Amino acid sequence: MGETLLMKQVGIDDIATYVPKIYLDAEDMAKARGVPPEKITKGLGIEKLSIPDAHEDAATMAAMATLMLMEKNNLQPEDIDFIHVATETGPDASKPISCYVQGMLEQRYGKGSFDHIGAPETKFACVGATYAMIDRLAYIASGWNRAPYSIVVATDIAKYELNSSGEPTQGAAAIALLLKENPRLLVYEPQFTGFGTVDDRDFFRPVERTTAVVNGQYSVGCYLRDMRIATDAYKRNMVKAGMLKSLNESLMDKIDLASFHSPFPKMVQYAFASFLIHDWRNLPKWNQISQKIGPEPSREKMTDVEFYISDNYKDYRKNFTNTEEFIKEYEAKVADSLKAISLIGNSYTASVWLGVASHFEHRKDDLTGKRIGIGSYGSGSSAIVCSFIVQPEYKEVVKNIKLTYKLNKRQKISVDVYEDLHEGRRKLNESINPPKNEFVLDSIGTSETDFGYRYYKYIE
Ligand code: HMG
């Protein structure tokens, strides 16, 4: 069975992104909250927060990304096998967003035109889309698919309480991934994929709440712990496959660029620094680095999470991030993935994949044949570390991602308007930016048989 999986080259053929057309400036939020702006812009790395308009929810964003993906590839419903959505901010505890997306698409392609598709929804906090993608790629690799393409859509609205420590890390976006055999963009390397999962409570959202409950600093430690478990698994798989001679070799030497889940860009710096400390610890070059930053602090009597959030470790990691060795590796392999993210904020399931799109839009060198590593994390908690090889046709495909263009075209809103939207004080038809050529949430059922049901329509 392993051999069958390895025989077919499967992966991501194209990407379409959707971001709401309004944003809140991080400096405006800082001023309103009495926080030094640099704490958000430099401390967290966030410049702008993407804010959903009154007519938007995770389903409209998913439908917009999917429609764009289909239109730019001239796809018809019969070309599609699955529309598989990953989200943690779906509006319904029973009906999946994927089915709402199907309904919206049928307003464009004809009633019943998608009745042949499979349409599940996957949930695992921010790592859900990576799980969904692996499922769908395995299905295509197995040969069970009936149509050539499957679409995985990651869509989320990251929302915390007003005035909370998580508030500056809010955001919203969707990204649709087109999956197929012999893709033009990225070929998946299933044999290396590593998982790290721990039953934990760093972040969760009970069904009765619209905002998440989060233990912020603790969640940072969980992210780092799970990422290390998954990375170790990935590395062992590379050794098993003969890609590395032993666990003492550097894994990072095999990775050309990387995208991590980014709740805020600084988190990715923490993650990459922890990853490099772990990867380089046994290499000859570490002696030189150790001389600059001193010995690693002791872990004695500490759990992994306690260690990762201890002041001693944070100071040690900060010293490492100031070394030229770290800066060089970070600038060469990670920094470009965060250019878009710093203008969006957290978008939960979509974040790690927006990082991939950001790389493609900002890297000017030839990426053909390069290995791109993915570090996907979801609270609760689980990390997936996996990789892809960039395909020669990528240059033509990425010309149409246009994420930077969309981000630059957005309209800035004031803190008052943001707070009204956050607290649901604007009606569905009181959008800041009147919808045009897009799906909107039109109404929500109030009768006994449709209470809470969501009705969507396309506005020309
Ligand atoms: P905080 O505790 O207010 O911030 O919020 P802090 O005190 O940790 O400071 C952050 C950085 O700002 C530090 O930088 C400060 O020094 C710096 P560092 O020392 O670490 O390099 N700073 C300043 N810099 C410049 N000028 C200043 C200044 N002041 C301070 N004046 C926290 C941080 C993460 C707790 C908060 O944002 C939060 O609760 N966020 C939500 C939870 C979260 O994002 N967790 C991340 C890991 S879990 C995850 O990624 C999963 C998630 O996406 C959900 C899912 O999976 O579904 C959240």
DSSP state string for 158-178: E---TTSTTGGG-EEEEEEEE
Nearest to residue 193, comparing CAs of 243, 145, 256? 243
Minimal-distance CA residue to ligand 1 atom 57: 125
Our mutation pick for probing the ligand 1 site, out of 126, 159, 219, 316, counting the most ligand atoms within 8 A of Cβ, is: 219
What is the distance in A from the centroid of ligand 1 to the CA of 385? Answer: 23
Residue 126: DSSP 8-state:
B
163: left (phi over 0), alpha (psi -120 to 50) or beta: left
Say whether domain 2-459 belongs to CATH 3.30.460.80.
Answer: no
What is the distance in A from the centroid of ligand 1 to the CA of 48? Answer: 15
Ligand 1 contacts CB of residue 263 (under 6 A): yes
152-209: per-residue pLDDT in tens? 999 999 999 999 999 999 999 999 999 999 999 999 999 999 999 999 999 999 988 9
Q: Can you name the residues that pair with 204 across neighbouring β-strands?
A: 213
What pLDDT sits at residue 6?
53
Nearest to residue 50, comparing CAs of 153, 175, 145, 215? 175
Ligand 1 contacts CB of residue 267 (under 6 A): yes
φ/ψ of 232, rounded to 5, equals -60, -40
What is the distance in A from the centroid of ligand 1 to the CA of 217? Answer: 7
Q: Give strand ranges (E) for 94-210.
A: 121-122, 149-158, 171-181, 186-188, 194-197, 203-204
What is the distance in A from the centroid of ligand 1 to the CA of 44? Answer: 6
Helices and strands (H, E) in the chain, number of each type: 17, 17
Minimal-distance CA residue to ligand 1 atom 21: 43
Ligand 1 contacts CB of residue 38 (under 6 A): yes
Minimal-distance CA residue to ligand 1 atom 34: 216
Our mutation pick for probing the ligand 1 site, out of 224, 379, 381, counting the most ligand atoms within 8 A of Cβ, is: 379
391-443: per-residue pLDDT in tens? 999 999 999 999 999 999 999 999 999 999 999 999 999 999 999 999 999 99
Ligand 1 contacts CB of residue 308 (under 6 A): no
Please report which helix (H) or strand (E) contains residue 66, including its range.
helix 58-72
Ligand 1 contacts CB of residue 313 (under 6 A): no
Our mutation pick for probing the ligand 1 site, out of 122, 165, 170, 312, counting the most ligand atoms within 8 A of Cβ, is: 165
Alpha-carbon distances of 298 from 312, 412, 431, rounded to whole Å: 9, 47, 54
> Which atom of ligand 1 lies nearest, measured to the CA of 351?
53
What pLDDT sits at residue 302?
98
> Which atom of ligand 1 lies nearest, measured to the CA of 267?
46
Alpha-carbon distances of 325 from 127, 258, 273, 276, 296, rounded to whole Å: 30, 17, 11, 10, 17
Our mutation pick for probing the ligand 1 site, out of 89, 123, 124, 220, counting the most ligand atoms within 8 A of Cβ, is: 220
67 token code pair: 């429609």
Ligand 1 contacts CB of residue 166 (under 6 A): yes
What is the distance in A from the centroid of ligand 1 to the CA of 219? Answer: 10
Nearest to residue 361, comparing CAs of 412, 388, 397? 397
What pLDDT sits at residue 7?
74
Identity of the amino acid at 12: I
Ligand 1 contacts CB of residue 260 (under 6 A): no
Residue 404: DSSP 8-state:
H
For the chain, the structural domain boundaries read 2-459
Minimal-distance CA residue to ligand 1 atom 15: 43
- The contacts of residue 90 (CB under 8 Å, 6+ apart) are 58, 59, 96, 97, 121, 123
What is the gyration radius of the CA atoms in the chain, in angstroms?
22
Strands 22-25 and 411-413 come out as parallel
Minimal-distance CA residue to ligand 1 atom 58: 263
What pLDDT sits at residue 323?
98
In this structure, the number of other CB atoms found within 10 A of the CB of residue 313 comes to: 21
Ligand 1 contacts CB of residue 165 (under 6 A): yes
Q: What is the pTM (predicted TM-score) of this model? A: 0.97
pLDDT beneath 70: ranges in the chain: 1-6
Ligand 1 contacts CB of residue 273 (under 6 A): no
The CA distance from 334 to 265, in Å, is: 10
Minimal-distance CA residue to ligand 1 atom 54: 379
Ligand 1 contacts CB of residue 30 (under 6 A): no
Our mutation pick for probing the ligand 1 site, out of 39, 274, 309, 313, counting the most ligand atoms within 8 A of Cβ, is: 39
Please provide the DSSP assignment of 239-292 as one string.
Answer: HHTTSSSSTTS-SGGG-SEEEE--SSHHHHHHHHHHHHHHHHTTSTHHHHHHHH
- The contacts of residue 25 (CB under 8 Å, 6+ apart) are 47, 48, 412
What pLDDT sits at residue 195?
98
Contact indicator for 55, 454 with CB cutoff of 8 Å:
no
The CA distance from 51 to 73, in Å, is: 28
> Which atom of ligand 1 lies nearest, measured to the CA of 35?
31
Nearest to residue 58, comparing CAs of 156, 177, 160, 159? 156
Contact indicator for 203, 61 with CB cutoff of 8 Å:
no
What is the distance in A from the centroid of ligand 1 to the CA of 32? Answer: 18
Alpha carbon 306 to its chain's center: 26
